[in-house]
Amino acid sequence: MLKKLREQRHILLRVKVSVDEIIQQVQKIRSNYSVLAICPDVTGNNYQGVKSATLGLFPMNTLVLPQYFSKSVYSVAELKKIAQAIAGLKFETIVFSGMPRYCETLIHTLKSHKNLSAKILFIYHGSLSSNTEYGLDASDYLDWLLEITSSKQITKLAFVKKGMAELFYSLQKLNTHHLLLKTPELKPAKINFEKDELHIGVLGSGHYRKNFHNQVAAALLFSEAKVHVKKTDELNYLKSNSRIVQHKYFENHSEFLNLVGSMSLNFYVTFSECWGQLVTESLMMGVPCLAAYNSGILDFDIDLKEALVVEDFDNAVAIYNQALQVLENRKEISEKGIIYVKELNKIADDRLIQFLKA
């Protein structure tokens, strides 16, 4: 009981923003934009990827809605009041991006508003593999999204994961779309490519699909490297703790990006990925980042794809060998990576325009 009371007090004092302030934020967006994007706010590192991705696509017209993990901090009545205010502002398009199931109240209220003329779109940031990782809640959530698309409660459903738009168009004839994510302009890291010490970032989470152990082991094969991670649990068997640097918590995403940009090389060689924003963020800052071929993030440049994609990704030695080749051409790959992400952003813009046309 005491724990619950402390949690409620924390939500009231540190998390929840008044409904009136939320409505003021929406009004400010409407004064400049006809499209409103809505995404959930971060709790700890929870939903950080969704928030960053949404702000990348809609940097000035996103309402970041406070929540506590995946739970609404607003009552049903408060959510309805927010939705009614949004409907009254007559946006042309309202985009829900990665919103948890409680947004059903917002959607139903919007759809029932007599003056609503806006298209309602939704962006799904998950994958079929994440259904296995997160279980029934994840698959039920996807089932709900598919159902509200089928019943025309939303006009179009966008997927970030390559292949899913085509899959659900073919299976269920739904109005689907494939979006690429955008990476904000980030300053290149100031690296002396000849003299710097070797610092390797393995900064994904510890989930199984992130392939954490293989990547740390591969990085440690560089005998002088410092390996930067978010967690050190279960790594004692590698007998290299003196070279593993733990970064337990980041106050915000900018703080995390500062670390990513300070590395000599980053690894994000995951078993499954919807997109892999860390890869493009690293490349934008001029830091090469190894990846696996699981999201299409490097589909648009054959040379970079050949240089950075590890085909034998469940093999620490293979990751190490690929990293050796990257380090031999680090300056060239660094320069090419910055250009590539800017070109990728242009493709993402084109995809976004098509999505908003619905």
DSSP state of 243: G
- CATH code (residue 290): 3.40.50.2000
Write the CB contacts of 77 (distance below 8 Å, at least 6 apart in sequence): none
Total count of domains within the chain: 2
Q: Strand ranges (DSSP E) for 5-75?
A: 35-40, 62-65, 67-68, 71-72
CB-CB contact of 185 with 168 (8 Å): no
Residues 20 and 163 in one domain: yes
Q: What is the pLDDT of residue 199?
A: 96
Walk along the chain (358 residues) and give the pLDDT tens digit of each residue.
667 777 777 777 788 999 999 999 999 999 999 999 999 999 988 899 999 999 999 999 999 999 999 999 999 999 999 999 999 999 999 999 999 999 999 999 999 998 888 999 999 999 998 888 787 899 999 999 999 999 999 999 999 999 999 999 999 999 999 999 999 999 887 767 666 789 999 999 888 899 999 999 999 999 999 999 999 989 999 999 899 999 988 888 899 999 999 999 999 999 999 999 999 999 999 999 999 999 999 999 999 999 999 999 999 999 999 999 999 999 999 999 999 999 999 999 999 999 999 7
Mark whether 37 and 125 lie in a shared domain.
yes
Residues 207, 127: one domain?
no
Same structural domain, 33 and 175: yes
My answer on whether 241 and 158 are in the same domain is no
Residue 327 belongs to domain spanning: 199-345
Whether 7 is covered by a domain: the verdict is no
User: Which residue pairs, CB below 8 angstroms and at least 24 apart, start in 65-69?
Assistant: 65/22, 65/38, 65/39, 65/40, 65/41, 65/99, 66/15, 66/16, 66/17, 66/41, 67/15, 67/40, 67/41, 67/43, 67/100, 67/102, 68/7, 68/11, 68/15, 68/43, 69/43
Are 353 and 307 in a shared domain? no
The whole-number pLDDT of residue 10 equals 74
User: What confidence score (pLDDT) does residue 193 get?
Assistant: 66
One domain, residues 114 and 161: yes
Q: Are residues 331 and 351 in the same domain?
A: no
Q: What pLDDT, on the 0 to 100 scale, is given for residue 1? A: 66
**Same-domain check for residues 212 and 94:** no
Do 228 and 112 have their domain in common?
no
Question: In this structure, are 25 and 67 located in the same domain?
Answer: yes
pLDDT per residue as tens digits for the range 84-110: 999 999 999 999 999 999 999 999 999
Q: What is the CATH number of the domain that holds 158?
A: 3.40.50
Are both 29 and 143 inside the same structural domain?
yes
Structure confidence at residue 45 (pLDDT): 80
Residue pLDDT, tens place only, 38-58 = 999 999 888 999 999 999 999
